[in-house]
Every structure is written in structure tokens, then in C-alpha cells.
Amino acid sequence: MIPARALRPRESVHPVASADDLARAGAEIVLAHARAALDTRGTFHLALAGGSTPRGLYRELARRADASTLAGAHAWFGDERCVAPEHADSNYRMVSESGILACFHARQVHRMRGETPDPEAEAARYERELCAELGPVPRLDLVLLGLGPDGHTLSLFPGTPALEAEGWVTVGRAPLPPVARLSLTLATLEQARALVFLVSGSDKAPALAAALDDSVTPALPARRARPLDGTLLWMVECRPCG
């Protein structure tokens, strides 16, 4: 069961019955945030999650939206494996193949250059790009996040230095290849207007329960991902939780 008693203010859990429901509901949430941001500020900054879970959401969003719907919107990447963009492990490749990038003008897609021979230099470059668009304290409108079975999110793995990184973009180290990763930091997530976790798969259930429980120490990386002045939503494919 989801430990709702542990939820913080402005944090909520939305269970869905299937991966298709997760994709549809997730697309609705992205479009709602986009409309609100574009109406209010004339721009919308979305950070995309990698991995397999958000693929259906991206396909659904590509079906519903286009570059006119999201005129003024920017697509960022929450993290990237240090591989070439055509590599099977590349988040950019997965996102590109989903069709979602067609919803954005090309100049407003901000790719992490995973093929870099110098991840630290690329992290610094991406941080400069982020700040050039959003200011010295970058505030993304919506960040999509995944959850690993070990409780990691983005490329922020338990017990790694990336969890304590200063600044807005860092180099993470994964326990399995590709080891080197580019990642937004917890500090960047703290500044976001909204974080949405997309959680699917029975193997995530223990990590989800721990991530929703403040009594678990040390706190999992996913539990440490929280906005200081924003909302946090967990969208969970959770048929047994009903």
C-alpha cells in the first residue's frame, strides 16, 4: 500500500490502472502545465525523463500536440548517459524516436551532449545554457522523473557524490554501464515549479514505499527530490493498490 500518511504538503499520489492510463494521464498533466505557463509567462520549460516508463507518455503527447500548440515551449533533459545520441542507451535517442521533439521548435530543444569526451565540461556547458535561458537560479516549470528499483532518480544514485553536488548540473556515476551520466542536481529540482514522478513496474514497489516514507533513513535520492515552492506528484501504475 502507498503510505499516504507520509505525504508532505503539496505532494500527492495518483494511481492508474495501466501503462496506457499512465501515458494518457501524464500527457494531460504536461499539457495542463504547458497551457498555464504559456498563458501566464509566455514560455514553458519542460525537463524530460529518460528510461522506458515515459516513452508512452511522449508518444501520446506527440499525438496530441505540435509546434504550434507548444510555441514558446522548451524541452530540456533531466539526465543523459555518456554515449552517442544514436546509441541504444541514449535518452535522446529514445525521446527522439517517440516523436515528442516534433512538438518543439528545433532551437528550443536543449540536448545534453552525451558523446562528450569530458563529462565535467559538458555539465558546465549545459548549466550555462540552462542559466542563459532561465536566469542564475533556473526554475523549470515541470520536471518529469523516473524511479529506479534502488530509489535513484535522474542519474542521482544512492551514496554517490552527485547527491551533494553544488550548482545545477553534475556528473553522476551509475553502478552499471554506461557509468558516466550527465544529470540535473537536487538543487535544480528544488527550484522547479512542479515535479512529476512516473512509476511503473512491480519491481519499483519497495523503492516507492521507501520514497514516500520520511522515516526511512538515509532518504533515497527520489525522496530528496522535492520543490521548495512547488508541487510534487507521483503517478503510479499500481493495480494492486487500487
pTM: 0.95
Q: Is the pLDDT of residue 2 over 90?
A: no
Summarised one tens digit per residue, pLDDT across range 189-208 is 999 999 999 999 989 999 99
Q: What are 172's strand-pairing partners?
A: 181
Radius of gyration of the CA atoms of the chain, in A: 17
* In the chain, domain spans: 18-67+81-162+173-179+192-199
Mean pLDDT over all residues of the chain? 94
Count of other CB atoms within 10 angstroms of residue 99: 14
What architecture is domain 18-67+81-162+173-179+192-199? 3-Layer(aba) Sandwich (3.40)
Instruction: Tell me the three cell numbers of residue 91.
Output: 535518452
Q: What are 156's strand-pairing partners?
A: 153
Give the DSSP H or E segment for 194.
strand 194-199
Which band of pLDDT confidence, cut at 50, 70 and 90, is reported for residue 239?
low
Q: Is the pLDDT of residue 1 over 50?
A: no
Side-chain-side CA neighbours of 151 within 13 Å: the count stands at 21
Structure confidence at residue 7 (pLDDT) = 74
Mean per-residue pLDDT for 34-38?
A: 97
Summarised one tens digit per residue, pLDDT across range 135-187 is 999 999 999 999 999 999 999 999 999 999 999 999 999 999 999 999 999 99
Structure confidence at residue 242 (pLDDT) = 40
Which band of pLDDT confidence, cut at 50, 70 and 90, is reported for residue 6?
low
Beta strands in the chain (DSSP E): 11-16, 44-48, 73-77, 79-81, 142-145, 169-173, 180-184, 194-199, 231-237
Structure confidence at residue 98 (pLDDT) = 97
Instruction: Tell me the three cell numbers of residue 208.
Output: 516507492
DSSP per position, 131-155: HHHH-SS---SEEEE---TTS-BTT
Summarised one tens digit per residue, pLDDT across range 40-99 is 999 999 999 999 999 999 999 999 998 888 999 999 999 999 999 999 999 999 999 999
